[in-house]
Amino acid sequence: MPYWPRDGRSLGFPDGHILHDIHTRSRARRQYRGITIMKQEFLAKAETGDLVIGIVGLGYVGLPLAEAYVAQNTRVIGYDISEKRAAQLNAGESGMKHIADSRVQEMLDKALFKATADPADLKEADAILIAVPTPLDIHHQPDLSYVVSTCETLAKVLRKGQLVVLESTTYPGTTEEVMKPILETSGLKGGEDFALAYSPEREDPGNKNFETATIPKVVGADSEDGRAMAKATYDIIVDTVMVSNARTAEATKLVENIYRWINIAAVNEMKVIFEAMDIDIWEVIDAAKTKPFGFQAFYPGPGVGGHCIRIDPYYLSYKAREHGLSTHFIELAGDINTNMPRRIVRRLLEEMSLKQKKALAGSKILLVGLAYKADIDDMRESPSLELIDILKEHGAHVSYYDPMIPEIPTTREHPEFAGMTSVDDFSGFDAAVIATAHTGVDYTALCKAIPLVVDTRNATSDIIADFPDTIVKA
Going from the C-alpha of 212 to that of each of 65, 100, 149, 238, 379, the distances in angstroms are 6, 16, 26, 8, 20
- Chain mean position to CA 312: 9
Count of other CB atoms within 10 angstroms of residue 145: 13
| Contact partners, residue 109, CB within 8 Å, separation at least 6 | none
Residue 447 known to be catalytic:
no
> In this structure, is the dihedral angle defined by the CA atoms of residues 46, 52, 55 and 59, taken in order, positive or negative?
positive
Q: C-alpha dihedral over 451, 455, 459, 461, to 10 degrees?
A: 80
Q: Which helix (H) or strand (E) holds 77?
A: strand 75-79
What one-character DSSP code corresponds to residue 72? T
Cα–Cα distance for residue pair 28/11, rounded to 1 Å: 8
Classify strands 75-79 and 52-56 as parallel, antiparallel or unpaired.
parallel
Cα–Cα distance for residue pair 240/234, rounded to 1 Å: 7
The catalytically annotated residue of 221, 308, 340, 360 is: 308
Strands (E), 173-225: 195-198, 217-220
Count of other CB atoms within 10 angstroms of residue 109: 12
Q: How crowded is the C-beta side of 349, counted as CA atoms within 13 Å?
A: 18
Question: 165 has which bridge partners?
Answer: 129, 197
- Judge contact between 440 and 403, C-beta under 8 A: yes
- Judge contact between 167 and 179, C-beta under 8 A: no
- Chain mean position to CA 64: 13
Q: What are phi and psi of 162, to 5 degrees?
A: -85, 155
- Judge contact between 55 and 78, C-beta under 8 A: yes
| Contact partners, residue 147, CB within 8 Å, separation at least 6 | 130, 132, 134, 166, 168, 170, 174, 178, 179
- Judge contact between 58 and 83, C-beta under 8 A: no
Active site residues: 308
